[in-house]
Amino acid sequence: MYHARSIVSKIKHSDVAWDAELKTLTEQVKPEWKQNWYDGLGFCTWNGLGQRLTEQAVLDAVGTLAEHKVNVTSLIIDDNWQSIDYKGDGQFQYGWLEFEAEPKAFPNGLKSMVSRLRKQYPDIQHIAVWHALLGYWGGISRGGKIDQAYKTVEVIREDSKRRNLPLGGKMTVVAKEDVARFYDDFYRFLTEAGVDGVKTDAQFMIDMWTSASVRRDLIETYIDVWTRASLRYFSVKAISCMSQFPQAMFHSQLPQDRPPLLVRNSDDFFPEIPASHPWHVWANAHNSIFMQYLNVLPDWDMFQTVHDYSGFHGAARCVSGGPIYITDVPGKHNMQLIGQMTGITAKGKTVIFRPSVLGKSIYPYTGYDDDLLLKVGSYHGGSQTGTGILGLFNISARPLLEMIPLADFPGVMAATEYVVRAHNTGKVSKPAKPGASDSLTAMSLDVRGYEILCAFPLTSYSGLKRKDGRTCTLGLVGKMTGCAAIVGSSVRQRENGRVLATTRLKALGVLGVYVSTLPDMTIDGDFMATMQDKPVPRHCVSISRRSECVLEVDVEAAWNEMGLDSGRGDEVEVTVTFDT
């Protein structure tokens, strides 16, 4: 893959201005833009609202989310908002008529609806719309406004053998000469309507044309034009869907001279097909082994929080390192699960907790039918000082029991001691080193069962009143990947023996601090917790009911009670000081 990358990097675009503009657009992307787009909770209309969208259905859905206090920061208006001719055998034959939304379903136009959404729900920072790379599934409608405004050509595509979809036959697409003008006009229309992101689907379609000359002339044209247009109008706020085919992967997703692109990492989430759910997570975990080498952020697709596999999917999204967005039926929300995946920042934003390393299967050659737990490994933080993450999923049709070695956790060091914390049970292991006889964790999961284990490196301290001990910060203990809430942490011991464990957090919640000598200590006699250098109320500090060695600080309750201000930043600093 590195060799392929070096080859691709030497290929210059035939249009010199293309490379120059790409460089300029890339330099303009700010880090906070990426963070706002990747790290918020999103809502997609597809499964939740179904097809044949209407303006009222979208407005009602967003209103219901707000009523239930589901604070989404990104809204994706999926398929079927467009003006479509509805001719032919189903959606794969339908053609696109014009840029404006379907006039009967959206009588006031796209801009009017987007303006209402932004005015009524200011917490929604981004509004994106779905479209196919070629316009719609069946391309452009003959005789429609788009067909009349741009030069088009008729091409032939083959049928899908894998899923027996009626994709074959003739379709009309914008010709090579007008693709750039077509995308420029379309994205300008969306921008003027208040849309600031796109989900561009059905990209594989350009690889299904039967004519070699058509593929030669149009594949790179469409890929390049879309890459440049999406960056020009939406910066990083674009999702590339159904684009896991060689031309897209190696031509536009491998190069490193542009911002990482959100790329759908698998087939769809199918809520009504039970057998699809374990396969969906397994396929994403294994696809990520390859996708890690591309300049992309794998997107494991949306899911529903009220579903037999809702926690299973939620845990998978949390360890994936990618975005999280839901497609709940309005009013049907698992608030407990949403609370485990998200947090509220000091300034009131909703964020998710993405590990800094992409999640992927740690055993590439374990088969789907091998009756073994799927192990998705990830990592958060700096080298040697960060947290190894292991998501465990029972994809089998029967309960499974396995012993999980500490050495399986990504990033663990042989000479370092760790404690392993389980999210669902809240249990924390005894300190151990990778490879030691006591470094195994027994894990029993029922069908559809899942667990997230995190391995935290320990810092030793010398005991003056009592025996020597070890400590570490566990992050936000109520979150699936609460370790990813840690922006930075440090442990130091003063000459008088006092230990200071300082943690900077990206969101509010309950902070956990592991202290091996805690069973021999008292909160009133040995501990002091401060937040932004001010004492935390005593009732906000307690010993975990799940582990006798974990001190918990309710940062969210303390923050609200103390009326603190994070200043220009959006982080919270908590220091736990204790005597030894």
Tokens representing residue 509 in the block: 């919640």
**What integer pLDDT is reported at residue 162 of this predicted model?**
60
What's the rounded Cα separation, in Å, for the pair 221 and 173?
12
Mean pLDDT of 172-188: 98
Q: Is the pLDDT of residue 139 over 70?
A: yes
Q: Is the pLDDT of residue 13 over 90?
A: no
Q: Is the pLDDT of residue 15 over 80?
A: no
The percent of residues in the chain predicted with pLDDT above 70, rounded, is 99
Helix (H) or strand (E) holding 14: none
Cβ-count burial of 82 within 10 angstroms (0-12 exposed, 13-18 middle, 19+ buried)? buried
Whether pTM > 0.85 for this model: the answer is yes
**What integer pLDDT is reported at residue 127 of this predicted model?**
98
Could you count the other beta carbons within 10 Å of the beta carbon of residue 345? 18
The percent of residues in the chain predicted with pLDDT above 90, rounded, is 89
Query: pLDDT digit string (tens) for 192-202?
Result: 999 999 999 99
What's the rounded Cα separation, in Å, for the pair 339 and 208?
42
What's the rounded Cα separation, in Å, for the pair 120 and 118?
6
Per the CB < 8 A criterion, the answer to whether 366 and 372 are in contact is: yes
Name the phi and psi angles at 337, rounded to 5. -65, -45
Listed range (163-167, 244-248, 428-432) with the worst mean pLDDT:
163-167
Mean pLDDT of the chain: 95
Query: pLDDT digit string (tens) for 440-499?
Result: 999 999 999 999 999 999 999 999 888 999 999 999 999 999 999 999 999 999 999 999
pLDDT band, very low/low/confident/very high, at 163 (cuts 50, 70, 90): low
Cβ-count burial of 299 within 10 angstroms (0-12 exposed, 13-18 middle, 19+ buried)? buried
Q: Is the pLDDT of residue 164 over 70?
A: no
Mean pLDDT of 516-526: 96
Tokens representing residue 273 in the block: 């097909």
Radius of gyration of the chain (CA): 26
Query: pLDDT digit string (tens) for 88-136?
Result: 888 899 999 999 999 999 999 999 999 999 999 999 999 999 999 999 9
Mean pLDDT of 268-289: 97
